[in-house]
Every structure is written in C-alpha cells, then in structure tokens.
C-alpha cells in the first residue's frame, strides 16, 4: 500500500484539511450515540462473558475477575444442564430457521409476483392486505395465535370439519419427524451418540408441534415485509428483457426462472440475510407465548440467554450464549453470501449458446 501514495494526499493534508474536521464534527453525534448505545454495551457484554460477574454493581469493579473461557465451556462442553439446554435451544432454532426461511422467502416472492401484475384488479387492496400482519405488533399476533391454536380453538374446529382431530398445539412437545416416523424411541445408533448433550435421535426430532405453530406464525407475519422488498425489486426490472424473451418464445414459467429470478439475485440476498438473522434471533414471540414450554421444545438461544442471565443470575453464561449466537449468525450469513455469489456463466451454458450460434450459421 505504501507504494501507492497518491498525489492527492498533499491536497488532503493542505487545502481540504478543514473539511475533514467539519466532517468529523458532523458525524460525531452518530459516533457518540452508536458508541454509547451499541459499541460500549457490546464490549461490556464481551467482558461479562469471560468474567465471573454475578449481577451486582458494575462489571468493571475490582471484585470481578477474569475466568477465561469458563462460561463458554459451561455452555458448550461441560455436558451439564447448561450444555443440554443450549443444545436443545440450538436444535429448536435450527429447525425453525430451516423451515421458516425457505417458506417465507418462497411465499413472499409468490405474493410479490402476484401483486406486481399489471392486470390484477384491486392491486392496492391486496398489497395492503398481505402487508398487514407485518405492521401488527408481534405480541398481539402471538396472543391471537395462542387462542387460534388452543386445544379447543378455531384451528382445531376447522380441522374437525374434515374429520381431523387437531393436536393440543402449544402443549404438544412431540417432534414432527418423530410423529411421521411413528416412533418414540429411535435406533440405538442414533440414541447413543450426540452433540451438546442431545442425542442424534433428538436432534432429528424435527420441530415440535408447538414450534410448528410458531413457524406458521413467522411465515404468516414476515412474508408481507419481504413481499414488499421483492415488489420493489420487481418494479426495478426493465420490461425489455422480458419482452425479448417473449419474442424468443419463452413461456411464463421459463421467463420467471431464467429471466426474472436471476435479475432478482441482490434482492434475494437481502431477503435471505434478513430472514436468517431474524429467525436466529427469535425472542419476543417465545417470551410472550410459551417461554420455552412444552418440554423446552420452544426454547431458543436468544430466550435462553435472557433466562440464564436475568432469572438464574448466570450473567457470564447468558452473555456467552449471546456471543455464540452472534458467531452462528455471521457464519450462516457468510455461507449464504458464498452460495449466492456472482458466478461466471458455466461451461455447459456457454456450450448451449455456441451450438445455437453454429446452427444459425449453417
């Protein structure tokens, strides 16, 4: 870098120096606000996660000492109750992410394409209607959901019209995959080993019936928001490419997959990233709803972190869980970014075009 000293540097040091000072002055309020309300708390939490602070007085006082990775190992390696709880929370949330993110993205895209069509009558109405769940407070929706999905609630009533006997949704801890397989206990190959104090069989249980109700709720509430983002993306696309494809004889299905979707890649990246982050941080629904019950199958790392710190006075472990969650989110976002990266056109595709070119020449 030192070899690339640009001649403009002289200018920066001389003539434009005042501007830099003014720039700092103007950005200072934001830097101070972000520092005090974001950076300092994060740094303090980082310190708490490696200290034995017990929740009284300042974490920076002399009586608090450094304990290294003790809190992290209690959560990740000890094999005690803390590890088991974290494993359970991670299992629940992983299933939640695995189902919510694809479902809400697909539904949002579908709705966006629907309301984007120029032909649709009452577009404004549908756009508002689909967006409505997103602007309602999640607490209100959770309470509504508890009523809808209670043992004698509306959902089970509707199911009974079709002769189905609905489960006691928010009180049913049975895993969906276990239910589909129809067995309570798995093969010993799966029940013997495990990770974070949870056997492989339990990792593979799928979301519990209670968690599934939350999954439906998340899809219901967030697809409206993401529909809006997709809609903005769709309206930015020029009609000419689409028309060109139409002239080439592509049908609607092909145009969607080959023309529209590839152009939406940046929007898709935004939606998936926001979805992933939001899903890993799910807290308020759990806090207002089931608080981890039944049988800890709706426990999530974010709620567990709160519970560990505020209810059980294990502040270090609570902070450690928060940072592990942070790492998980960053890793998932990076993976996703790598999967959705801009790739050069594959050889196979190029060859396809070459063939047509040759045909044209002949």
Partner 1 sequence: MTRHTTRAAYGTGAVLLTSALALTGCGSGFSGDEGGSSSDGLTSSDKPLTVLIGSSGDAETAAVQSALDAWSKESGTEVSLQVASDLSQELSQGFAAGEPADLFYLSTDQIAGFASNGSLKAYGDELTNKDDFYPSLVENFTIDDTFYCAPKDFSTLALVINSTMWADAGLTDADLPKTWDDLAEVAKKLTTPEHVGLAFGAEYQRVGTFMAQAGGGLVKDGAAIADDDANVTALEYVKSHLVDGTFAFAKDVGAGWGGEALGKQSAAMVIEGNWITGAMQNDFSDVEYTVAELPEGPGGKGTLQFTNCWGMAADSPNQQAALDLVEYLTSADSQLAFSKAFGPMPSIKSAADEWTADNEALEPFLAGADYAQFPPNQNGASDVIADFNAQLESLKTADPAQILSSVQSNLEAVVK
Contacts (CB under 8 A) with partner 1, residues 215-234: none
Is 150 a binding residue for partner 1 by CB under 8 A? The answer is yes
- DSSP labels, 276-341: HHHHHT--HHHHHTTTT-STTTT--HHHHHHIIIIIT--HHHHHHHHHHHHHHHHHHHHHHHHHTS
Is 179 a binding residue for partner 1 by CB under 8 A? The answer is no
- The span of 126-134, 145-153, 221-229, 345-353 binding partner 1 (CB under 8 A) equals 145-153
CA distance 112 to 106: 10
CA distance 3 to 155: 69
Contact residue for partner 1 among 12, 129, 154, 350 (CB under 8 A):
12
- DSSP labels, 148-168: HTSTTSHHHHHHHHTT-----
Contact residue for partner 1 among 113, 277, 293, 328 (CB under 8 A):
293
Contacts (CB under 8 A) with partner 1, residues 55-84: 55-58, 60-63, 80-81, 84
Is 140 a binding residue for partner 1 by CB under 8 A? The answer is no
- Percent helix, strand, coil in the chain, to 5, is 70, 0, 25
C-beta of residue 214 within 8 angstroms of C-beta of residue 96: yes
CA distance 286 to 280: 12
CA distance 210 to 226: 25
Query: How many other β-carbons are positioned within 10 Å of the β-carbon of residue 132?
Result: 11
Q: Which is nearer to partner 1, 38 or 106 (CB)?
A: 38
Burial grade of 10 (CB within 10 A; 0-12, 13-18, 19 or more): exposed
For the bound state, the minimum distance from the C-beta of residue 260 to partner 1, rounded and expressed in Å, comes to: 38
C-beta of residue 273 within 8 angstroms of C-beta of residue 107: no
Is 312 a binding residue for partner 1 by CB under 8 A? The answer is yes
Is 288 a binding residue for partner 1 by CB under 8 A? The answer is no
Residues 6+ apart with CB under 8 A from 163: none
Is 110 a binding residue for partner 1 by CB under 8 A? The answer is no
Contact residue for partner 1 among 258, 265, 311, 337 (CB under 8 A):
311
For the bound state, the minimum distance from the C-beta of residue 208 to partner 1, rounded and expressed in Å, comes to: 11
Q: Which is nearer to partner 1, 58 or 254 (CB)?
A: 58
Is 296 a binding residue for partner 1 by CB under 8 A? The answer is yes
C-beta of residue 113 within 8 angstroms of C-beta of residue 223: no
For the bound state, the minimum distance from the C-beta of residue 168 to partner 1, rounded and expressed in Å, comes to: 7
CA distance 284 to 142: 9
Contact residue for partner 1 among 32, 195, 330, 331 (CB under 8 A):
32
Contact residue for partner 1 among 295, 333, 336, 340 (CB under 8 A):
295
Q: Which is nearer to partner 1, 312 or 354 (CB)?
A: 312
Is 191 a binding residue for partner 1 by CB under 8 A? The answer is no
Handedness of CA 264, 266, 267, 268 (dihedral sign): positive
For the bound state, the minimum distance from the C-beta of residue 294 to partner 1, rounded and expressed in Å, comes to: 5
- The span of 146-154, 187-195, 278-286, 349-357 binding partner 1 (CB under 8 A) equals 146-154
Interface with partner 1 (CB under 8 A): 1-2, 4-6, 8-9, 12, 20, 24, 28, 31-32, 34-36, 39-40, 43-44, 54-58, 60-63, 80-81, 84-85, 150-152, 168, 171, 173, 184, 293-296, 309-313
């Amino acid at each position: 870098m030192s070899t690339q000293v640009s001649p403009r540097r002289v200018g920066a040091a001389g003539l434009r120096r005042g501007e830099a000072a003014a720039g700092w002055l103007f950005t200072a309020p934001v830097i101070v606000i972000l520092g005090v309300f974001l950076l300092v708390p994060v740094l303090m939490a980082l310190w708490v996660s490696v200290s034995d602070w017990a929740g009284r007085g300042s974490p920076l006082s002399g009586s608090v000492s450094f304990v290294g990775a003790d809190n992290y190992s209690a959560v990740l390696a000890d094999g005690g109750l803390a590890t088991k709880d974290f494993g359970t929370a991670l299992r629940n949330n992983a299933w939640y992410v695995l189902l919510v993110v694809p479902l809400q993205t697909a539904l949002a895209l579908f709705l966006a394409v629907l309301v984007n069509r120029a032909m649709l009558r009452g577009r404004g109405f549908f756009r508002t209607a689909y967006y409505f769940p997103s602007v309602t407070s999640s607490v209100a929706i959770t309470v509504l959901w508890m009523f809808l999905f209670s043992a004698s609630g509306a959902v089970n009533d509707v199911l009974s019209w079709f002769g189905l006997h609905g489960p006691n949704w928010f009180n049913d801890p049975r895993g969906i995959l276990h239910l589909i397989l129809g067995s309570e206990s798995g093969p010993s190959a799966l029940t013997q080993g495990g990770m974070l104090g949870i056997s492989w069989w339990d990792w593979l249980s799928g979301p519990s019936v209670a968690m599934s109700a939350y999954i439906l709720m998340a899809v219901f509430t967030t697809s409206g928001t993401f529909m809006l983002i997709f809609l903005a993306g769709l309206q930015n696309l020029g009609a000419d490419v689409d028309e060109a494809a139409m002239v080439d004889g592509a049908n609607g299905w092909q145009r969607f997959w080959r023309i529209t979707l590839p152009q939406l890649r940046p929007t898709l990246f935004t939606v998936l990233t926001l979805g992933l982050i939001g899903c890993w941080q799910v807290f308020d629904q759990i806090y207002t709803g089931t608080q981890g019950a039944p049988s800890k199958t709706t426990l999530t790392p974010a709620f567990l972190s709160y519970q560990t710190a505020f209810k059980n006075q294990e502040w270090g472990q609570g902070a450690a869980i928060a940072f592990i969650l942070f790492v998980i989110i960053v890793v998932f976002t990076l993976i996703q970014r790598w999967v959705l990266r801009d790739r050069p056109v594959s050889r196979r595709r190029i060859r396809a075009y070459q063939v047509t070119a040759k045909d044209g020449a002949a």
